[in-house]
Structure 1
Amino acid sequence: MLETVTNTDIFFVEDDTDFAFIMETAVLELSKPATIQILDNGKEAILKLKRLAEDKLKPKLILLDLNLPGISGIEILKQIRDITYLRYVPVVLFSTSEEATDIRTSLEFGANAYVTKPSSYSDLIICLQSFADFWLHQNAFVS
């Protein structure tokens, strides 16, 4: 059976199922509706992103966890930047790591930003609202 490929606002790669659930819930609290698609592994995420590109669809924002099993967030970032159709989609590394080397490496490989995951639900809502306000509503987007 062929999977229907649809566009989404936020494409999030996160292997922590609890945090993924919290993100889905938090997105529902944004002041303007947004859609989110969450994948839990890098290989699946790359395949899905390539399928989106083939169908001429692209998310408005890609969030990547840094530490994923198999393919790291940095490796996914590198592959995204090699997909011509997705090259200019904003990519934010969204991780618990505060290591300067992780931040530097992410930016060197083309991340638009590096954000440390908030430690509370209310801070996550504020963070997501900031993402939405800027990346989904103010940032010039090439479709």
Structure 2
Amino acid sequence: MTQLHGSMSILVAEDDADDRVLLADAFAESGVVVMLDFVPDGVELLAYLARHDADPSLGLPDLVLLDLNMPRMDGREALRAIREHGRLRHLPVIILTTSTAELDIRVSYQLGANSYVTKPRRFDDLIAVLRSLERYWMDIARLPSDAHRGQS
């Protein structure tokens, strides 16, 4: 298994504890080098981002993986809040959810999602998805550096 270029910081907003373990295991198995943090809902996601935005030594994540259906504040509300926040609006947000509903897909893009990915049912397929995400976001796409993120 080859490791790709460097590592990236990923914040995962996921309320299901089993899915959090599955994602952590899939990243570990994939060979993708990441620093993972997890939050259980949109409220905690926004609090995490606010802390990291306020303290430059913490740095913002490179990428957010966002589940849609979470308690307290769902992914749609959290995505809307991120896109309305001046310094966070450029943060790449990928919806990672079980929903295949056309309305969820359409609304996610209307709210500013960078991508919409349906969670695969098989572990091997999840590993392949995570490798593809890492390849695209680390090797192909150009992201603003953390120091410049959010500045227009």
TM-score, L = length of structure 2? 0.85
- How far off is 1:137 after superposition? 3.1
Structure 1: runs of 5+ lacking an equivalent: 1-7
- How far off is 1:87 after superposition? 1.2
Mapping of residues 130-141 of structure 1, within 5 Å: 130-141=132-143
CA distance in 2, matches of 1:136, 1:16: 27
- How far off is 1:112 after superposition? 0.6
Percent identity between matched residues is: 37
Amino acid at match of 1:127: V
Q: Is the Cα–Cα contact under 8 Å of residues 95 and 115 in structure 1 kept in the other structure?
A: yes
Could you say which residue in structure 1 is the equivalent of 2:105?
103
Q: Is the Cα–Cα contact under 8 Å of residues 62 and 92 in structure 1 kept in the other structure?
A: yes
CA distance in 2, matches of 1:88, 1:121: 30
Distance 1:124 1:55, change over 3 A: same
Could you say which residue in structure 1 is the equivalent of 2:34?
34
- How far off is 1:79 after superposition? 0.9
CA distance in 1, matches of 2:120, 2:32: 21
How many residues align? The count is 136
CA distance in 2, matches of 1:54, 1:65: 24
Distance 1:123 1:133, change over 3 A: same
Aligned residue for 1:9, secondary structure, equals strand
Could you say which residue in structure 1 is the equivalent of 2:14?
14
Amino acid at match of 1:139: A
* Aligned partner of 2:76 among 67, 74, 77: 74
Structure 1, 91-100 or 132-141: larger mean CA deviation: 132-141
Mapping of residues 78-97 of structure 1, within 5 Å: 78-97=80-99
- How far off is 1:141 after superposition? 1.3
Structure 2: runs of 5+ lacking an equivalent: 1-7, 146-152
CA distance in 2, matches of 1:65, 1:41: 8
- How far off is 1:85 after superposition? 2.0
Could you say which residue in structure 2 is the equivalent of 1:45?
45
Q: Is the Cα–Cα contact under 8 Å of residues 61 and 90 in structure 1 kept in the other structure?
A: yes
- How far off is 1:49 after superposition? 0.7
| Structure 1: 4+ residue segments shifted above 3 A | none
- How far off is 1:59 after superposition? 1.0
CA distance in 2, matches of 1:106, 1:85: 20
Q: Is the Cα–Cα contact under 8 Å of residues 26 and 125 in structure 1 kept in the other structure?
A: yes
| Backbone CA RMSD of aligned residues | 1.2
Could you say which residue in structure 2 is the equivalent of 1:129?
131
